[in-house]
Amino acid sequence: MDGYTAALTGMESGERGPGPQLPGKPWGARVWKLCGALALLALCGVAALLFLCHSQTQAHGIENNEHQQHLKHISTNVRAAIHLHGEFNPEVRNSSVLWRDGDGHSFFQGGLRLVNNEIIIPQNGLYFVYSQVSFRVLCSSSGGHTNRPISHTIMRWSDAYNDRKPLLSAIRTTCQRDAESNGRSKSWYNAVYMGAVFSLEREDRLWTETNLLKDVDGEDEKTFFGVFAL
Residue at which a domain ends, from 77, 99, 116: 77
Q: Is 14 left (phi over 0), alpha (psi -120 to 50) or beta?
A: left
Higher-confidence position of 207 and 146: 207
For residue 7, the model assigns a pLDDT of 45
Instruction: Give the CATH number for residue 178.
Output: 2.60.120.40
User: In angstroms, how far is the first alpha carbon of the chain from the final one?
Assistant: 132
Structure letter (DSSP) for residue 178? G
Q: Is the domain of 38 the same as that of 104?
A: no
Please tell me the total count of domains within the chain: 2
What is residue 32's three-state secondary structure?
helix
Tens digits of per-residue pLDDT, 172-216? 888 765 544 555 667 788 889 999 999 999 999 999 999 989 889
Which domain covers residue 41, as residue numbers?
29-77
pLDDT at 9 over 70: no
Q: How far apart are CA 47 and CA 212, in angstroms?
A: 81
For residue 218, pLDDT over 50 is answered with yes
pTM of structure: 0.63
11-31, pLDDT tens digit by residue?
A: 444 444 455 554 555 656 666
CA count, 13 A, side-chain hemisphere, 112: 27
Distance between CA atoms of residues 71 and 56, nearest Å: 22
Please say if the pLDDT value at position 43 is more than 80.
no
In sequence order, which residues have a C-beta less than 8 Å from that of residue 119 and are 6 or more positions away? 82, 84, 112, 113, 205, 206, 207, 225, 227
Work out the mean pLDDT of the chain and round it to a whole number: 78
Distance from C-alpha of 165 to C-alpha of 71, rounded to nearest angstrom: 39
| 178, 209: one domain | yes
Which of 15, 43, 77 corresponds to the end of one domain?
A: 77
What integer is the mean pLDDT of 87-113?
86
User: Is 15 inside any structural domain?
Assistant: no
Q: Are residues 144 and 112 both part of a single domain?
A: yes
Looking at the chain, the whole-number percentage of residues with pLDDT higher than 90 is 38
In contact, 222 and 134? CB cutoff 8 Å: yes
Residues with Cβ within 8 Å of residue 218, at least 6 apart in sequence: 86, 87, 88
Asked if residue 154 and residue 45 are part of one domain, the reply reads no
Residues 155-184: what's their mean pLDDT?
A: 80
- Last residue within a domain, chosen from 42, 77, 112: 77
Are 114 and 184 in a shared domain?
yes
- State whether the Cα torsion 200-134-137-175 is positive or negative: positive
**Does residue 6 form part of some domain?**
no
Region of 114 (left: φ > 0; alpha: ψ -120 to 50; beta: rest) is: beta
- Is 7 among the domain residues? no
Cα–Cα distance for residue pair 9/58, rounded to 1 Å: 85
Q: Is 170 helix (H, G, I), strand (E, B) or coil?
A: strand
CA dist 117 and 71 (Å) reads 31
Three-state SS for 86?
strand
35 and 128 inside one domain: no
Task: Verify that 67 and 130 share a domain, yes or no.
Answer: no
For residues 89 and 193, membership in a common domain is answered with yes
